[in-house]
Structure 1
Amino acid sequence: MASSSSSTLLLLSPLPLSDLSYKPLRPHYPHFLLPHCHERHRRRRRLLTRAKKGRGGGDSAEPPDRIISAVCYLYPFLDGVHFGRFLLAQFPPIQLIIFPFAPAIRLFSASPLNPFLIFLTLYFAVVRNPSSFSRYVRYNTMQAIVLDVLLIFPDLIERFFAPRDGVGLDIVMSIDSTVFLFLLISMIYGSTTCLLGQVPRLPIVADAADRQVM
């Protein structure tokens, strides 16, 4: 009986602090759920990193970043301003909106290589250069580039069909005028939003730009 009582007292006696080790509780996931949980944590870390870099904040973009991003939206507009020839001929007051950009349009159209050279400069020197430019600048630059790439489709319609009269010409005029108005609205919206320090998201273009910019 003495031995049993002594062993009972030994079990009930408190252990010294040196023998206790604190082990924090960790969530236990089944092995088949581990890849999904890790991916969810990585996605959460990416969202936090983007938030810190000013992707969604209105006041987080510095003034130089806002100006550079706003200027980038001139690129697709200058490359597609020729789509507005029918609309400008029918509604001359719209020329007042285009008049301030006349010097830039003449400079842009001075050489057929200018659009391609500007494309290479914006893509490789800005979008693919995270060490020199913030994600805010690279995202807006990529959005302007994607918008310019989409101009290939109306260009192909004009070159392959090129109707001179009839219903075909009416269709081409409608397409060109729609493209021009979309470029004009995109430039005004994108540049104004960037100058305010916010993030413009153009339809179709925004998701493609997000996938390209890390």
Structure 2
Amino acid sequence: MTISHLLSPLPSLNFFQTGTLTLTGRSSSSLPINPNPQFSKPRLSRERAATLVLQSKKNDDSVEASDRIFSAFCYFYPFFDGVQYGKFIITQYEPFQILIQPLFPAIKAFKSFPFSGFLIFLTLYFVVVRSPNFSRYVRFNTMQAIVLDVLLIFPDLLERSFNPSAGFGLDVVMSLDSTVFLFLLVSLIYGFSACLFGLVPRLPLVADAADRQVL
């Protein structure tokens, strides 16, 4: 390689005059260059866009209205079955009387039959929870209401075995009954409202047991 070859001029750029890139040196070639390149933007077909919109709506509204309503009303079952635990708090506080008063006809009808709670339990468990014809959303909320009703056995047994008429024992019973009633009332409001919006209410001490029963 000679010294003159090393000192040869670098390729010159002649772009702004001709609009082409010219390389001069040992070899030359001309490459056309567009000074204002435009790149095509990817477009989403109408069919694909409509499909995405439908899928988005389906995911946002995945629970049917009938499933919501049925699941919401299931939470009245444990509340009606355990409303007697509110006898102290309802008689002492008028807001609770106003809140419960619209439900008095339904509660009276529920309590008028001696085995209504047990028959409803059998119907909900074997006809709804164990049936594949209902969605898992309905079966879970139904089972959660059933488990909540089953838990009422414990305060009932405690009240039957320990039934004081006055003194400190009566205060303990009143506090226990009022706590059970408030828990049932909160569970009813929370479960009913959540189901109406298509959400999944998970009650403490109840949701895990319901999950194990619903396949």
Q: Name the TM-score, length of structure 2 as normaliser.
A: 0.72
Give the corresponding residue for 2:96: 94
Quote how far apart the aligned CAs of 1:112 are: 1.2
SS of corresponding position for 1:109: helix
Give the corresponding residue for 1:184: 185
Quote how far apart the aligned CAs of 1:58 are: 6.1
CA–CA separation in structure 1 for the residues paired with 2:153 and 2:193: 26
Instruction: Say whether residues 1:160 and 2:151 are aligned partners.
Output: no
Q: Name the TM-score, length of structure 1 as normaliser.
A: 0.72
Look at both structures and tell me which one has the larger radius of gyration over its CA atoms.
Answer: 2
Give the corresponding residue for 1:31: none
Structure showing greater relative contact order (alpha-carbon pairs closer than 8 Å, 6 or more residues apart): 1
Alignment of 1:39-188 (within 5 A): 59-130=61-132, 132-188=133-189
- Percent identity over paired residues: 67
- The aligned amino acid for 1:92 is E
Count of aligned positions: 157
CA–CA separation in structure 1 for the residues paired with 2:114 and 2:178: 23
Instruction: Say whether residues 1:207 and 2:208 are aligned partners.
Output: yes
* Range that drifts further, 58-67 or 149-158: 58-67
CA–CA separation in structure 2 for the residues paired with 1:109 and 1:83: 14
- The aligned amino acid for 2:74 is C
CA–CA separation in structure 1 for the residues paired with 2:203 and 2:60: 17
SS of corresponding position for 2:124: helix
CA–CA separation in structure 1 for the residues paired with 2:210 and 2:60: 19
CA–CA separation in structure 1 for the residues paired with 2:156 and 2:64: 37
Quote how far apart the aligned CAs of 1:179 are: 0.3
CA–CA separation in structure 1 for the residues paired with 2:153 and 2:69: 27
- Classify 1:166/1:61 alpha carbon distance in 2 versus 1 (closer, same or farther; 3 Å): same
Which portions of structure 1, spanning 4 or more consecutive aligned residues, are displaced by more than 6 angstroms? Answer: none
Give the corresponding residue for 1:193: 194
- The aligned amino acid for 2:196 is L
- The aligned amino acid for 1:111 is F
Query: Residues 115-155 of structure 1, C-alpha deviation per residue, up to 9 Å, x if partnerless?
Result: 0000000000100001x210000000000000000000110
Contact 1:58 1:199 (C-alpha < 8 Å) held by counterparts: no
CA–CA separation in structure 2 for the residues paired with 1:96 and 1:213: 36
Quote how far apart the aligned CAs of 1:202 are: 0.2
- The aligned amino acid for 2:214 is V
- The aligned amino acid for 2:87 is R
CA–CA separation in structure 2 for the residues paired with 1:66 and 1:172: 36
CA RMSD of aligned residues (A): 0.9
CA–CA separation in structure 2 for the residues paired with 1:185 and 1:92: 17
| Structure 1: gaps (5+ residues) | 1-56
